[in-house]
Each structure stands twice: as C-alpha cells, then as structure tokens.
Structure 1
Amino acid sequence: MCGRYQFTAEQCEEIRQIADAIQRKYGADAWSPGEVRPANRAPVLLDDAGGPVPKLMKWGYQLPGTLVINARAETATEKPLFRDSVRNRRCLIPSTGFYEWDSQKRKYLFTLPREDALYMAGLYDRRGNEDCYCILTTSPNASMRPVHDRMPLILTGEQRHRWLADDDAAARILTVASPELMRTSAEAQISLW
C-alpha cells in the first residue's frame, strides 16, 4: 500500500517544472508541495499528443463511506471499479519519494537511487464533480519487503511514456517488477501536520 508520498520541488528540476506548470494553470494557492496524503489534491501527468501534461486531481476514488487510494496491479483489469480506467484513463503520479511504515510503526522514505524524481503508475476517473486518481501497487521487491508487503508500481524511462500512450504496453507494464529503492528513516523529519 502507498498511503503517503512526497512532492518536493526544491530538490528536483523535473518536479519543479511540473509544479510551475500547475501553478500557472491553477494559481499559486491551488495546492502546496510537500507531503501528499489521501484526499489531498496533487499533480498527475496525463497523455496528450504533445507529451505528458500536468493536471491537479484529488488522491482517492470516493465511494460511499470510503476513499480508495490504491489499486492492485495484479487485479485492476478484472475489478469493475478500475477496469475502464486501466483501458482509458492511465496517469503518472510524479513524486520525490513515498513513505511506508514498518510493523513497529517506524516511518521510512523510499526513493530511487541516482534519481531525484520517482513516477508511480496510476489510474484516474471522475467521481461526482471531481477528477481523482489512485496509485497502482504491486508485490514488494527485495528493497521493500522488510518494511511492507505492497509497494507502488514504479515506472522508469520509456515505461512512463508507454504507460500513458500505448494500450498494449500498458497491460504488460502491470506485471513488471519495480526497481530497487533506497530506504531512509523519516523519523527525524519534522511534520507541521
């Protein structure tokens, strides 16, 4: 499961460009970079003929009594809630890392080695009057397994473009293993919330 992630524009030029595009499109007060939590609005990337375009959406599919923030990559094509989104509404969730807690409730930040940006595969839909997204998760790899039994489906390089634009490739991408990650303790980080 992925329950929080980080979108910090200061440390990454790619992320800064996305943040700048969002601010130009929606205004400076439309959202705040930092730690992203369920039900927050945050940038996602959608396919456009000219390449990926950023859009601000709410994290989570709102259903009666619950907010669905993750979808299992292994079963998303079978589940009525996600099936059409897998075919027609795929997105990328840009971040600078994601958080997970171990069984002792210690918080860790996971990032890509030698990369400042981390892109998670996602789906989006319109629920009520709001566009929203969820993060696809998969079985953990060796770097994640000591902490949690699920992890986001992380896309690198050409996978990102194919996920957004190529329907046939998207089905195959659902089964790829995520890259190995760096894990650092987030316990010392100060949160204002």
Structure 2
Amino acid sequence: MCNEFQKRYSRFLISDRFAQIKIPLRWADAEANTPLDTPVRPTDRATIIRPIDADHPTAGLEGLDMRWWMVPSFHRGAMKDWRTMCTNARVETVNSAPTFREAYRRRRCLVPLTSFIEYSEPPGWTKGKPKQRNEIEWEDGDVRYFAGLWERSTPSDMPEGVETFAFVTGPAGPDVTSIHDRCPAVLTIAQGMEWLGLDGPGKSALEQPAPPGTFTVKLSPRESLMSAEMRRAI
C-alpha cells in the first residue's frame, strides 16, 4: 500500500508532455507554492488530471489540486468522521466496492508523480523503531501517472462540498515484492489516456504485476515527522 509519493516536476513540464501528444490540458487553479521535493502524504492536497468530458478524454483535460484520501459521496457526517483509509483502491474490487465503484465508472483521473515510497522493516527491527524508507523510481526519471479516481462529497461541516481522490493498487511485481506485496498502478502517458477512456480496458489493464526491471528501489532518508494517519497506515 503506497501512502507517500513525490512529484518533482512543475505543472509547466506536465503541460508540455500532454502538448506533445496533442491533448489540451487547462489548469483550474494556481500551482501551489510548495517546494517540488516535498513528499505528498495522506490528507495533503496534490495535483490530479481529469477529463473535462468523461466520455471524451482526448477532447481535453483539466488539472487541479485536491485532497488525497477519498471521501465517498454517500458520507454525510463531518469530514473528520470518515476514518476509513481510502488513499488506495484495490484493483480486485475497484469496480464493486461501494466507496469506489461509482468513481471507477465515471470519475477517473491521473495523478502525476516521479517516485513513490514504501516503508519496510529492516533486519532487527522491533515495534516502535523507525521503519526503512524505500523510494521507488524508474530508469528515465520522467513523470508518470497513478491510475486515479476522484469523488465529490458534501460532509456536514463542508456544505460547499469537497473533492478528493485515491489511486489504484494491485499485486506487486518482482522489483517491489521484497518490501511490499502491493504496488500502485504506475502508467506512462499513453497508458494513462487508456485508463481515462471509459470504453477502454479499465481495471483489466492494471491487474498484471509490473514486469522485472520496471522499477528501481533505493534507500531514502526519512523526511519530516509523519502525520497520525501516515503512522497508522504503515
């Protein structure tokens, strides 16, 4: 389960990548004034890209920041009362789980990233000691995309509504299994456009683990103190 990732490229570069494949991309808000090497963690706001028209994603895309930790549309309590960990959606049940099935059917998105983080127990680890931080990257270092889902809900303390997202995970491939048995679906831009197509392969394109050589894993220093949600998650 991935609960930390990095996006070390600006929106300018992301726009350029979509311009190269002739897909219009507009930004609905201003880019956050956050250093590009700041890790993204649960409940943080992060950049997502979604179709302007879900039935025709190649006609144009919209980018904006929203909260990472999906709150389903059926939740009517206060925001803080939705405590179920909804940062990731399992590929095996993404089309049937009540929290994710409607978003899978109509509200898919892409989440740009340049690496993701998994924590593991180093030799001799005991409960209460820090875990090992592993940063997972790919050879060319270019921006990639999580297969994401987004939702709009109206918690009782946010009558104006809030938009949130999660992304899909599946079985880990051989590059990652030594540290975790799950891995997010990390897509190229072409694969990402296929994911956005509601008439395309959808979850079936994400079910197979990434083949050997897809990812490289390196030890990475632990960053600032984790949130309570992050500590519970790992």
Q: Which residue of 35, 43, 68 corresponds with 1:39?
A: 43
Matched, 1:60 2:69: yes
Alpha carbons 1:140, 1:150 under 8 Å: kept:
yes
Aligned-residue sequence identity (percent) comes to: 28
* Greater Rg over alpha carbons, structure: 2
- SS at 1:9 equivalent: coil
Unaligned runs of 5+ in 1: none
- Write 1 or 2 for the structure with the bigger share of helix: 1
Q: Which residue of 82, 95, 98 corresponds with 1:77?
A: 95
Q: In structure 2, how many angstroms separate the alpha carbons of the residues matched to 1:28 and 1:116?
A: 19
* Cross-structure match for 2:6: 6
Unaligned runs of 5+ in 2: 18-24, 53-57, 72-80, 123-130, 155-160, 227-234
Q: What is the total number of aligned residue pairs between the two structures?
A: 188
Structure 1 residues 30 and 167 mapped into 2: Cα distance closer, same or farther (>3 Å)? farther
Q: Which residue of 102, 106, 130 corresponds with 1:88?
A: 106
Matched, 1:120 2:146: yes
The aligned amino acid for 2:174 is A
Q: In structure 2, how many angstroms separate the alpha carbons of the residues matched to 1:153 and 1:122?
A: 9
The aligned amino acid for 1:177 is P
Under a length normalisation based on structure 1, what TM-score does the superposition of the two structures give? 0.84
Q: In structure 2, how many angstroms separate the alpha carbons of the residues matched to 1:29 and 1:36?
A: 12
Q: In structure 1, how many angstroms separate the alpha carbons of the residues matched to 2:2 and 2:223?
A: 20
Matched, 1:185 2:185: no
Q: In structure 2, how many angstroms separate the alpha carbons of the residues matched to 1:111 and 1:150?
A: 16
* Cross-structure match for 1:135: 167
- Write 1 or 2 for the structure with the bigger share of strand: 1
Q: CA offset at residue 64 of structure 1?
A: 2.5
Structure 1 residues 168 and 183 mapped into 2: Cα distance closer, same or farther (>3 Å)? same
